[in-house]
Structure 1
Amino acid sequence: MSKTYTFTKEERLCNKKLIDQLYHNGSSFLCYPFKVSWALSADPQPFPAQVLFSVSKKRYKKAVDRNLIKRRLREAYRLNKHQSLYSLLSDAGKNIVFSISFIGKEIAPYDFIEKKMLKLLSQLSEQVTK
């Protein structure tokens, strides 16, 4: 698989059944300001990982704020997914589905989100290979 910095529709987790399975049967861990839920997927997929981003409506009332945070999360993921996650999953022949929920108290700057995203991806890689 070539190393293209894209984030296509196939990489987004949209399937309601998979989302249900993820939250009911998956594992989770905290990597502040993120909460990650993940599960191995048996279905063959064009990409080794499918991801869902969420920001609480309760904590961030304005859609503008929620969308800003989600844009930053997607961008940090898009640029860093190949470094630790994709290469490891491709080598192991595994597929995963996971969600990243932002649980921070305030809107974080992009550089902070990117630094934490790197930590989160390496932590997720460790958990998947156990």
Structure 2
Amino acid sequence: MITIKNQKEINHLFRFGKTTIIFPLMVYCVEAKEPKVLFSISKKKINKAVDRNKIKRQLKDIYRKDLSWNVKKHIAFVYIADNICDYNALYTSMKKIKNAYKEL
């Protein structure tokens, strides 16, 4: 799993990417040469860094472990819930997102 770290790539992703919302995630996706991923959680939504890091770890684990994404796209997962969701809610949301992007 390669993460997006370049500011130009991030700006391009948020400006020109297709958006899908499946609670508790908003997903931006744009065509690219190689697949890269970004996980983002707003400090305004989840105040404690411990909780933000826990959610990021869970999202990365779900992405890496269970769901094989065979797409040539840059994908950004933005957490939009105001409270902490459990692992099962994140898992079902990621599954729905994966099925939605299979069709594109």
Per the normalisation by structure 1, the TM-score is 0.74
Q: Is the 8 A contact 1:25 1:39 kept in 2?
A: yes
Work out the CA distance in 2 between the residues paired with 1:26 and 1:117.
18
Structure 1 residues 81 and 14 mapped into 2: Cα distance closer, same or farther (>3 Å)?
farther
Alignment of 1:1-130 (within 5 A): 7=1, 11-41=2-32, 43=33, 45=34, 49-82=35-68, 85-86=69-70, 89=71, 95-127=72-104
| Structure with the larger strand share | 2
Which one has the largest radius of gyration? Answer: 1
Tell me how far 1:115 sits from its aligned partner.
Answer: 1.7
Cα deviations across residues 12-50 of structure 1 (Å, max 9, x unaligned)? 111211111111111111111100011001x4x3xxx21
In 1: Cα distance, 2:101 partner to 2:66 partner: 13
Which TM-score applies when normalising by structure 2?
0.90
Instruction: Give the paired residue count.
Output: 104
CA distance in 1, matches of 2:40, 2:77: 6
Indicate the residue corresponding to 1:3 in structure 2.
none
In structure 1, what is the Cα distance between the partners aligned to 2:90 and 2:15?
27
Contact 1:80–1:118 (Cα < 8 Å) also in 2: no
- Which stretches in structure 2 are left out of the alignment for 5+ residues? none
**Deviations 1:75-100 (CA, angstroms, capped at 9, x unpaired):** 11111331xx31xx3xxxxx210100
Runs of 4+ in 1 over 4 A off after TM superposition: none
Alpha-carbon distance in structure 1 between the residues aligned to 2:67 and 2:11: 24
**Aligned-pair identity (%):** 31
Partner amino acid for 1:124?
Y
Q: Which is helix-richer, 1 or 2?
A: 1
CA RMSD of aligned residues (A): 1.3
